[in-house]
Amino acid sequence: MSIQKVAVIGCGLMGREIALATASAGIPTMIFKMTREEELSKVRDKFNERLDKEKQKIVQWDCWKHRGEVEGFKDCDLAIETIVEDLHEKRALFSQLDNLLNPMAIIASNTSTLSVAELASATMRPGRVAGLHFFNPPSVAKLVEVVQTASVYASVVEELQSFVRQLGLTPLVVANTPGFVVNRLMMNDLIYAILCLEGRLAKMEDMDMAKRLGLVHPMGPFELCDHVGLDTILSMAKILYKDLQDERFKPPMLLQRLVKNQMLGRKSKNKLGFYNYNLKPKCPNPEVYALINLERRSLAW
Ligand code: NAD
């Protein structure tokens, strides 16, 4: 069975990019967004501007919880869940998807840190549930972790690898461990950088520049946090800390405070995170230094 039609559920930062990748590869794609119907057309117009009109294969847009959803789902071979990083929300959605989809369809999660086995156990088809962990955005970050649980069928893992290649991306089969491979490596670095900032090692913009120019990383750690979304970084840190019982993943206070203040990075409505994106070029968000009790003017650096 090859994947002929895809449903993407959740249309935030990642859902949009994943749908763009599948639609651009010529695969008919449906998008389900949790929103009011009147808001949907705005998102749809913006999204369509980014698609190559020749290849456009977005076959249906729908609001999650809309009555049309059952019909739309019937002939999908793969549903990719990209909603908020929360086990209860995702399990509830998986159980709903299990009831709506054809029994042969595959359900995949884009979770960064949650156990795919726990998501699979919310369904009656654990052999057809896996992780498909895309990176942000797939047009630039060409890896997809295919997360294998103990119960997933080998044929499903193979099929998902072929699907990833069809999108022009590279699959990496990984075990269902917290954070898989990439995020285990990444989170360690990001949390350490935030702790260094709290400990006043250097200004965040200098640490970002150090990573970019000194270590040839495309982004520094604070830029990367803003790119991913600070709420997502915090959820990942909490899950890794709880699951691995490892102090290295303990969510730093500064990160918790920024999220509490709704400063979530580039995707934030207020365009604030570690940096302020209302200004061009971006500038450090002074609230960050205020939060760690450092008035910029009194810095010794
Ligand atoms: P986001 O906050 O941009 O988007 C989440 C979307 O899910 C929102 O549009 C929200 O309205 C919707 N939503 C929330 N609950 C829902 C529900 N019950 N049903 C339907 N929709 C619901 O987050 P994101 O960055 O796109 O992350 C989504 C998932 O992708 C998370 O699991 C995250 O860990 C993972 N991920 C994120 C990144 C990244 O760089 N941001 C990278 C890889 C994986």
pLDDT in tens, 87-127: 999 999 999 899 989 999 999 999 999 999 999 999 999 99
Burial of 159 (0-12, 13-18, 19+ CB in 10 A): buried
Residue 67 has pLDDT above 50, yes or no: no
Task: State the pLDDT at residue 243.
Answer: 96
Segment 157-176 mean pLDDT: 98
Distance 27 CA to ligand 1 centre (A): 22
Rounded to 10°, the helix 13-24/37-49 angle is 50
Catalytic residue selected from 17, 69, 81, 145:
145
Confirm whether 112 is a catalytic residue. yes
Choice between 158 and 27, residue whose per-residue pLDDT is larger: 158
User: Catalytic residue at 110?
Assistant: no
Residue 34 has what pLDDT? 74
Which range, of 73-87, 117-131, 164-178, averages the lowest pLDDT? 73-87
Q: Return the pLDDT at 59.
A: 56
Centre of ligand 1 from the C-alpha of residue 201, in Å: 32
- pLDDT tens-digit profile of 117-145? 999 999 999 999 999 999 999 999 999 99
Q: Decide if pLDDT at 73 tops 90.
A: no
pLDDT classification of 295: cutoffs 50, 70, 90: very low
Residue 299 predicted with pLDDT over 70: no
Choosing from 8, 11, 13 the residue with most ligand 1 atoms within 8 A of its CB, the one to mutate for a pocket test is 13
Phi-psi domain of 201 (left: phi exceeds 0; alpha: psi -120 through 50; beta: other): alpha
Contact (CB, 8 A) for 266 and 227? yes
Q: With cut-offs at 50, 70 and 90, classify the pLDDT of residue 57.
A: low
pLDDT at 254 over 90: yes
The set of long-range contacts for 179-185, using a CB threshold of 8 Å and a minimum separation of 24, is 179/112, 179/113, 179/236, 179/239, 179/240, 179/244, 180/112, 180/113, 180/131, 180/133, 180/145, 180/147, 181/145, 182/133, 182/135, 182/143, 182/145, 183/112, 183/113, 183/236, 183/240, 184/240
Q: Is 115 close to ligand 1, i.e. is its CB under 6 Å away?
A: no
- Please give the mean pLDDT across all residues of the chain: 89
Q: Indicate if the pLDDT at residue 55 is higher than 60.
A: no
The reply to whether 145 belongs to the active site is: yes
Distance 28 CA to ligand 1 centre (A): 21
What count of Cα atoms within 13 Å lies in the side-chain half-sphere of residue 83?
20
CA torsion sign, 289 to 185 to 142 to 24? negative
**Helix residue ranges per DSSP H, 149-203:** 154-166, 182-198
Tell me what the mean pLDDT of segment 292-299 comes to.
Answer: 57
Rounded alpha-carbon distances, angstroms, from residue 33 to 9, 27, 74, 136, 283: 6, 19, 17, 19, 32
Nearest to 80 by CA among 150, 164, 24: 164
| Paired tokens of 251 | 């969510």
For 148, phi and psi rounded to 5 degrees? Answer: -105, 125
Which numbered atom of ligand 1 lies nearest the CA of 90?
18
pLDDT grade for 63, boundaries at 50, 70 and 90: low
Catalytic residue among 69, 109, 133, 285: 133
* Beta bridge mates, 6: 29, 78
Query: What are the tens digits of pLDDT across the range 179-208?
Result: 999 999 999 999 999 999 999 999 999 999
- Is any ligand 1 atom within 6 A of the Cβ of residue 109? no
